[in-house]
Amino acid sequence: MNPITKVVGITLALAGLLSQTACSQSSVTITLGLIDASVETYLDNADPQYAAIVNPYLTAANAGVQYALTEWKTTDSAELKFTKIAAAFSQIAKPIFPNGTPATLIANVGLVSTAIEKFLATLQTTSAVLSSTPAGAEAFTAAAASPKALKLTRGDKQALPKIADKNAKLKARLKQGQH
């Protein structure tokens, strides 16, 4: 199979996952899960000779997901949670590849970058809704019985432990340099 075709297939599979879970999960947890899924995709198709360049990036992405999972459990306001999580992810720098790096490797790392960008865009949208409410999150909460932008859905609450489990497994693989 052509390596580019494989990457496109993986991308379509991730999009399918997104559409299947969209009914019960908010876009915030869906895109967070896609970050781990794209890290796993990279690790499953990795070239060990590029581990020194790519693993710090993947480790940072993995740590960002862990930070988000931890922050959601805090008593911080929704606005503060989104701000802290976005700040953690915005510090993640994409790796710079040397000339001659295979296109498939760059494309697989691109899946991780795209997932992070989608997650940040989701956080920015949610944060913008909160900021545009005159009295902030408190007024937004009072104005809507159960605003999806602020509260995790039942599907989110069911998905978070699965995301945390996958995240822990990926962290162990990254730590061991296992591809």
Summarised one tens digit per residue, pLDDT across range 65-121 is 999 999 988 888 887 888 899 889 888 878 888 888 888 888 888 889 999 999 888
Give me the pLDDT at residue 134, please. Answer: 55
Give me the pLDDT at residue 35, please. Answer: 92
Q: What is the pLDDT of residues 122-146, one digit of tens each?
A: 877 765 655 655 554 444 444 333 3
Whether the model pTM is above 0.85: no
How does 109-145 read in b/e, with b if 16+ C-beta sit within 10 Å? bbbbbbbbebbbebbeebbeebeebeeebeebbeeee
Query: What DSSP character marks residue 98?
Result: P
Cα separation, 13 vs 175, whole angstroms: 27
Q: What are phi and psi of 35, to 5 degrees?
A: -60, -50
- Please say whether the beta carbons of 44 and 69 come within 8 A: no
